[in-house]
Amino acid sequence: MGDKLKMLTIILLISLIFAGCSMKDPTQAKVKLKVLHAGSLTEPFKELKKIFEAKYPNVEVQLEAAGSAKTIRKVTELHKEADVVASADYTLIPKLMYPEYADWTIKFARNQIVLAYLDTSKYANEINSNNWYEILRRPDVKFGFSNPNDDPCGYRSQMVIKLAELYYNDDSIYDDLVAKNSNLRWVEENGNFVLKMPNSENINPNTDKLMIRSMEMELIYALEAKEIDYYFIYRSVAQQHGHKFVELPAQIDLSSVEHADFYKKVKVILANGKEVTGKPIVYGITIPKNAVHRDYAEKFVELVISEEGQKVFEKLGQPPITPETDNFEKLPENLKKYVRS
Amino acid sequence: MTSNTKSLQNLYINFLKIVAFLSSLMVLFILLPIVSTVLNQLFDLNGLIKAIQDKAVWDSIFLTSYAALLSTLIAIVFGTPLAYLLARTDFYGKSAIEGFVDLPVIIPHTVAGIALLAVFGSSGLIGSFSPVKFVDALPGIVVAMLFVSAPFYINTAREGFQSVDLRLEQVARTLGASQAKVFFTITIPLTWHHLAAGALMSWARAISEFGAVVIIAYYPMIAPTLIYDRFLTAGLAASRPVAVILILFCFAVFIFLRVLLWGRKNEHT
């Protein structure tokens, strides 16, 4: 009595075990290197993945793109295992990950904010780096930026538009483009300017003029589907997607270390209380302390900052910089020779 | 009782034990994440109270329920005839249409969102000439919800129509009732329970949709978008209370409607 059932259970269990084994087999040999990175690094990292996997055929590089803040939160709050973390704002790594989840950051590339468009965008044949804000002012032009609360590209866009007021000496640019179409307001504080971000649900954009999305990459489709005529984006992203772009003056596009003092005039306080001051856009990378495959992670970061990796960034519109770190002592040995402390 | 029947009975009891064991694992799997989210929140009552007092949270929850309600009503108006057609008639290509109805369940919802944008976007097939604006507006939320939730209504309603005893309708017809009268006085009351259950499932599915909605309409913010955004900007501690409120709110509505439904069912049986 019950024998048949027992047999059945045993057979079931055995087959389950076998199923487990056979599922494991093909992938078992591969090391899965988890690389979490900012959305704007998607293209160069895809390329680095190819190079890396060719060098180490036993490794599968798993790339996971998200906004920089979210990328880091996946590690610090969701406790997701990650071997490499790369952020579009190098300051986020010390701010959010130190000391528990990481203790060094390497700056490895830079970028700049441009105004991207397509031939089909309204007034595409007129726009240039002197009149771009006049074009955006026109009532039939729709433009976009990512949510400053979620995405560095978003708060940087706000900084760029505000800096444009100072640079062009026209104090209604931000009002006309953004403030009149949303709840975003800059206030002056001792000669500097501060934008205190409302919670995202209270940004309240006039969606006939402004399109906001959580992440900058979501706006690419909006441009291509002609939902918007222009959007503020990293030069690299515009270049990689074959979009045209207006290069803004170096004084306002957050690309140049030379103008760092001017960039400092603007500061955004995010809804979560974090304060970000205008500064040149520099990418940062680290290996979190909970990395599973530390050895390969070190090799991957080495590729990123080596000459071979830097060529990739050059080609894709993210000019590399001489790698710099804030904590030379803690760096893995193999990285030290590339890095200036 | 012979020993043979006794052993058969034992076999059946053993079988039931295994069934019960496996079932409880399934229930645990579903309940554990939800219960632990809610319980974890109880340790942070301040966060929960703050979220309950936050108008933005309720605005987004009401917007979500309202959009889901609109989507469900549209599903009822256009889905009921389709379900009836699929249940009662045979025609060339019927199984293909049955397959199409299930498509939204199969495609990833981000893909659904992109596909909807191609149709309802400002330069889309319908969006380019429609006076109604879909992108970043309530109608956009409703179409995204409708797309992913309609199959739940249509399939349940079809099962309902299939379960009706055709002889009852025939009797009514031979007594001189028109086709339409039979439909509204015999068929609909007999399938009422299925239709209501399908509508409820479809409403619930619409409320839970995030992927398709966020592509077509980031604003105005529905509750799942708000939760995602709170998670991005302020982290788990800020997003969880909103999630818990949404869970409890949906659960309360669901239970309330279920009780109503059970009442209806008992009247008929």
Measure in Å the smallest separation between the Cα of A1 and chain B Cα atoms: 6
Measure in Å the smallest separation between the Cα of B119 and chain A Cα atoms: 10
B215 neighbourhood in chain A, CB within 8 Å: 218, 221
Measure in Å the smallest separation between the Cα of A150 and chain B Cα atoms: 6
Residue contacts between A and B (CB atoms, under 8 Å) = 92
Beta bridge partners of A85: A36, A286
Q: Binning pLDDT at 50, 70 and 90, where does residue B263 land?
A: low
Are B18 and A201 inside 8 Å of each other by CB? no
Q: CB-based contact (8 Å) between B51 and chain A?
A: no
The ipTM of this complex is 0.73
Does A302 have pLDDT greater than 70?
yes
A73 neighbourhood in chain B, CB within 8 Å: 231-232, 235-236
- Residue A237: per-residue pLDDT: 87
For residue A214, give the nearest of B118, B121, B218 by CB distance. B218
Q: CB-based contact (8 Å) between B136 and chain A?
A: yes
Least confident of A83-92, A158-167, A291-300, B260-269: B260-269
Are B233 and A149 inside 8 Å of each other by CB? yes
Q: What is the pLDDT of residues A281-291, one digit of tens each?
A: 889 999 999 99
CB A269 within 8 A of CB A147: no
- Residue A115: per-residue pLDDT: 97
Report the length, in residues, of chain B: 269
Each residue of A82-118: b (16+ CB within 10 Å) or e?
Answer: bbbbbbbbbbbbbebbeeebbbbbbbbbbbbbbbbbb
**Per residue, what are the HEC states of A118-132?**
CCCCCCCCCCCCCCH
Write the DSSP assignment of A118-184 as a string of letters.
Answer: -TTSTTTTT--TTTHHHHHHSTT--EEEE-TTT-HHHHHHHHHHHHHHHHHT-TTHHHHHTGGGSS-
- Residue B153: per-residue pLDDT: 97
Q: CB-based contact (8 Å) between B232 and chain A?
A: yes
Does B264 have pLDDT greater than 60?
no
Does B268 have pLDDT greater than 70?
no
Does B267 have pLDDT greater than 80?
no
| Residue range A46-65: mean pLDDT, rounded | 93
More confident residue, B264 or B167: B167
Does B102 have pLDDT greater than 90?
yes
| Residue range A72-76: mean pLDDT, rounded | 90
Q: Tell which of B219, B236, B239, B242 to mutate to test the A interface (max A CBs under 10 Å).
A: B219
- Residue A286: per-residue pLDDT: 96
Q: Binning pLDDT at 50, 70 and 90, where does residue B146 land?
A: very high
| Residue range A59-75: mean pLDDT, rounded | 88
- Residue A12: per-residue pLDDT: 65
- Residue A2: per-residue pLDDT: 56
Q: Binning pLDDT at 50, 70 and 90, where does residue B166 land?
A: confident
| Residue range B33-54: mean pLDDT, rounded | 89
A221 neighbourhood in chain B, CB within 8 Å: 114, 117, 215
Does A39 have pLDDT greater than 90?
no
| Residue range B60-65: mean pLDDT, rounded | 94
For residue B232, give the nearest of A9, A69, A211 by CB distance. A69
- Residue A142: per-residue pLDDT: 95
More confident residue, B142 or B50: B142
Q: Binning pLDDT at 50, 70 and 90, where does residue B269 land?
A: very low
| Residue range B221-246: mean pLDDT, rounded | 88
| Residue range A168-174: mean pLDDT, rounded | 94
Q: Give the containing element (helix H, strand E) for A66.
A: strand A59-66
Return the structure tokens found at B50.
């703050």
- Residue B2: per-residue pLDDT: 63
Q: What is the pLDDT of residues B111-134, one digit of tens each?
A: 999 899 889 988 888 988 889 999
Measure in Å the smallest separation between the Cα of B246 and chain A Cα atoms: 16
Are B137 and A272 inside 8 Å of each other by CB? no
CA–CA separation, A109 vs A321, rounded Å? 5
Q: Binning pLDDT at 50, 70 and 90, where does residue A24 land?
A: very low
Does B252 have pLDDT greater than 70?
yes
Does A203 have pLDDT greater than 70?
yes
Report the length, in residues, of chain A: 341
**Residue B157 CB coordination number (10 Å):** 28
Q: What is the pLDDT of residues A238-293, one digit of tens each?
A: 988 899 999 999 999 999 878 989 999 999 999 988 899 998 988 999 999 999 99
Are B238 and A150 inside 8 Å of each other by CB? no
Q: Binning pLDDT at 50, 70 and 90, where does residue B173 land?
A: confident
Measure in Å the smallest separation between the Cα of A78 and chain B Cα atoms: 8
- Residue A107: per-residue pLDDT: 92
CB A84 within 8 A of CB A33: yes
